[in-house]
Amino acid sequence: MPIREEKAARTRQAVVDAAFRLLADRSFDAVSVDEIAREAGIGRRTFFRYFPTKEDVVLDPRRLDREYARAAMAEGVVSGEDPIGLVLRVMAELQRRMFAQVRPEHQATLHRLSHEDPALMARSWLLLEAARDLLVVSLVGPEGSPMARRRARVFVGACLMTIDAAVTSWIEASMATPLEDELRAAEHDLRESISRAFA
């Protein structure tokens, strides 16, 4: 990585780390941009050079890897991968990439903020919708019929909520076990629910 890019990455990480340290036991509104910048050892102008808004520090839509999602979904569809496994796998990786800058010790704070703060809840929902739409188009194509799109939205939405349930259970259990274990258990629950619905 070029020196300039490496320096920029370090600065972005320092801002994220500073924000989550300050937010560990405070509400989102209670922490100002100036506080975050000061904690990160930068000026206010430098902060906005890297993050357009304070919300972007926690949930940055620029980190939604659309290129990865399209490529992974296309590969999975062509290879005939099981749709439930495919969507869960791609969505889990999208989330991993989205929150790669959030350190393990800050995961509980991220979860709390994105489920309690109104502005971050709204942004989280918009990001989920953007991810959902990416996967829906990958499944039915851009010219899919209204019925096909509706069915795909129901299916992908169920998968997204399955991942959210797994992450929530993981956080509630103090992250004592690997997240992958919760994801597998939640996938089992989803498959069992579907099989019972059509039994």
Residue 31 has phi, psi (to 5 degrees) of -110, 125
pLDDT tens column, 151-198: 999 999 999 999 999 999 999 999 999 999 999 999 999 999 988 866
Q: Are residues 103 and 158 in the same domain?
A: yes
End of a domain among 58, 81, 104? 58
Q: Are residues 126 and 189 in the same domain?
A: yes
Residue 1 banded pLDDT, cuts 50, 70, 90: low
Check: CB of residue 111 under 8 Å from CB of residue 102: no
Q: Are residues 43 and 108 in the same domain?
A: no
Q: How many domains does the chain have?
A: 2
Q: Are residues 76 and 34 in the same domain?
A: no
Q: Are residues 37 and 92 in the same domain?
A: no
Radius of gyration of the chain (CA): 19
Domain that holds residue 14: 3-58
Q: Are residues 128 and 74 in the same domain?
A: yes
Mean pLDDT of the chain: 94
End of a domain among 58, 77, 104? 58
CA atoms of 84 and 156, how far apart (whole Å) = 8
Q: Are residues 92 and 120 in the same domain?
A: yes
Token pair in block for residue 135: 């996967």
Check: CB of residue 73 under 8 Å from CB of residue 89: no
Q: Are residues 39 and 130 in the same domain?
A: no
Residue 117 banded pLDDT, cuts 50, 70, 90: very high
Q: Are residues 165 and 115 in the same domain?
A: yes
**Among residues 87, 50, 52, which one has the least CA distance to residue 72?**
87
Check: CB of residue 165 under 8 Å from CB of residue 181: no
pTM as predicted: 0.88
Nearest-5° Cα angle at 122, 156 to 25: 115
Instruction: Check residue 20 and give left, alpha or beta (phi > 0: left; psi -120 to 50: alpha).
Output: alpha
Q: Are residues 12 and 110 in the same domain?
A: no
pLDDT at position 22 is 98
> How would DSSP label each residue in 17-70?
HHHHHHHTTS-STTS-HHHHHHHHT--HHHHHHH-SSSHHHHS-GGG--HHHHH
Q: Are residues 54 and 66 in the same domain?
A: no
CA atoms of 48 and 54, how far apart (whole Å) = 9
Q: What is the CATH number of the domain that holds 10?
A: 1.10.10.60
Q: Are residues 53 and 76 in the same domain?
A: no
Q: What is the CATH number of the domain that holds 83?
A: 1.10.357
